[in-house]
Amino acid sequence: MYDGSSVRAAYDGISAWLGQTTPEDRRLKAREAEVLFRRIGITFAVYNEGGDPERLIPFDIIPRILDAAAWALLERGLAQRVTALNAFLLDAYNGGEITRAGRIPTSLIVGNPGFRPEMQGFRPPAGAYTHVSGIDIVRTAPDRFYVLEDNCRTPSGVSYMLENREAMLRLFPDLIAAHRIAPISRYPEELLETLRDAAPPACQGNPVIALLTPGQYNSAYYEHSFLADEMGIELVEGADLLVDGDVVFMRTTQGPRRVDVLYRRLDDEFLDPLAFRSDSMLGVPGLFRAYRAGSITLANAVGTGIADDKGIYPFVPEMIRFYLGEEPILCNVPTWRCAEADDRAYVLEHLGELVVKETRGSGGYGMLVGPCSTKEERALFASKLRARPCDYIAQPTLALSTCPTFVESGIAPRHVDLRPFVLFGSTVRIVAGGLTRVALREGSLVVNSSQGGGTKDTWVLEA
């Protein structure tokens, strides 16, 4: 929020508002927000930790603001990045020019746990793999954005983006009216359009679209039902679907009904016990065969995990140059790949300054934040890293931007990141904003909700 000593222009309105409200007012509003979220049932399941199985993600009432120029830059960068990621996926499963050109090591693709050999030689409709991606971004300077992570499988969080705005509209109508904020409520329609675009060639007429959820015990179940509801499509579980003659049907009160596009929020390995994990009870036997036969589109495509892996991440700028012939607009965080001897040596020597991550880890688990770590933690991590160097990468801790946040002691700066959602179909669609996550603990860089992070409404100001 602060730009040197003066308040950044975009925050003028908020700053004035904060000056007028009393701590009592703000506490009251924060409580109201909590009641609101609890009543709507916007919850996040945290497993294996005891306590409330349906936990609320803390919501901070002070919005995070991006001005129009910053957003324009970000939007171009996101479209560029996602276009390149899709080109990479198509290439990786159909010939692999980029590996033959020596720009990405083959081992990173075929040795990747997200790699699905069954996808080789298959082209999904329009070459679209990541119909929905969530790109995690941090900002270090006004026009400098770094991508932390690409999420190309089944990224979640968009319902929080939408509900956070609804909560703000309800709690602070005057404050919102005093700003020109880009609306975001079109997202479900844009998603529906993207899914329609993806209909398989076999589909005649208006495609029947459904959202496949693992069920109500999944941590993102609220989001699944919310999106299905907003799009007016059926929310199905594996048991609601059946495959007959390579065609997918859902069981309805009037008998089987054909499905053309499945927005699946179920990981690859659980999709089809005949093709992947045979012990999965969540999937649909024969679904993958129907997919390969071209009778149904899965969004996102199967096997996209090879594009968002932490091992492949350092190569994304290279993909942008290779497929698009452009220079990347968004930066990659410099990354040391511990599989490389030189990199490994550097990382082991500088553990105290770096963030070390497991390539397969997610949710903020399995990482070492060097500057906040103890000597013992570093020693433990060093031995794990030596044992399986391929499993680790390391990055410098960036001077992340902070955002004023309402905490116990009052208002204080906290680190934030941003997950904008990029829709990729016949065209790239991005709703102006994203999910802002905030690290609620002082000094913490970890914003994951599973690690006690919270969220904020994200405002993109219109020019």
Partner 1 sequence: MLARTADSLFWLARYMERAENVARILQVACRMASMSRSIGNGSNEWLSTLVAAGCEDDFAAVHGDAEPSARAALHYLARDPSNPSSICSCFETARRNARAVRTALTVDMWEALNETWIGARSFGERDFEPDRVAVFLDWVKHRSLLFHGAYANTMLRNDAYYFTQLGTFIERADNTARILDVKYHVLLPAADPVGGALDYYQWQSILRSVSALRSYHWIYRETLKPWHLAEMLILRPEMPRSLRSCYAQITRYLGLVAETYDNRRGECHRLAGEIDARLRVGRIEDVFQCGLHEFLTEIIDDTAVLGQNIAEFYLVS
* Cβ atoms of residues 259 and 248 within 8 Å: yes
Nearest Cα to 248, choosing from 303, 210, 218, 216? 210
Quick check: 185 binds partner 1 (CB under 8 A)? no
Q: Does 236 bind partner 1 (CB under 8 A)?
A: yes
- 325 binding partner 1? (CB under 8 A): no
| Closer of 41 and 95 to partner 1 (Cβ) | 41
Q: Nearest to residue 463, comparing CAs of 68, 142, 176?
A: 68
Sign of CA dihedral 315, 316, 317, 323: positive
Q: How far apart are CA 166 and CA 435, in angstroms?
A: 13
Q: Which of 161, 162, 228, 330 binds partner 1 (CB under 8 A)?
A: 228
Stretch that binds partner 1, among 195-203, 230-238, 339-347, 451-459 (CB under 8 A): 230-238
Near partner 1 in 244-263, by CB under 8 A: 250-256
Interaction of residue 399 with partner 1, rule CB under 8 A: no
Rounded least distance, CB 226 to partner 1, Å: 8
Contact 351, 372 (CB under 8 A): no
DSSP secondary structure, 196-243, as one string? HHT--TT--SSPPEEEE---TTSTTHHHHHHHHHHHT-EEE-GGGEEE
32 binds partner 1 (CB under 8 A): no
Tokens 């589909």 correspond to 203
Least Å distance, CB 252 to partner 1, is 6
Q: Does 383 bind partner 1 (CB under 8 A)?
A: no
What minimum distance in Å lies between the beta carbon of 237 and partner 1?
7
Is the dihedral angle over the CA atoms 217, 218, 219, 225 positive or is it negative?
negative
Closer by beta carbon to partner 1, 1 or else 250: 250
Interface size with partner 1, residues (CB under 8 A): 24
First to last CA, the chain: 19
38 binds partner 1 (CB under 8 A): yes
- DSSP secondary structure letter of residue 117: G
Of 76 and 251, CB closest to partner 1: 251
Distance of closest approach, residue 54 Cβ to partner 1, in angstroms: 9
Determine contact, residues 457/168, Cβ cutoff 8 Å.
yes
Which of residues 119, 235, 299, 422 is near partner 1 by CB under 8 A? 235
- Closest to partner 1 by CB, 42 or 435: 42
Contact footprint for partner 1 (CB under 8 A) = 38-41, 215-216, 221, 225-226, 228-229, 234-237, 239-240, 250-256
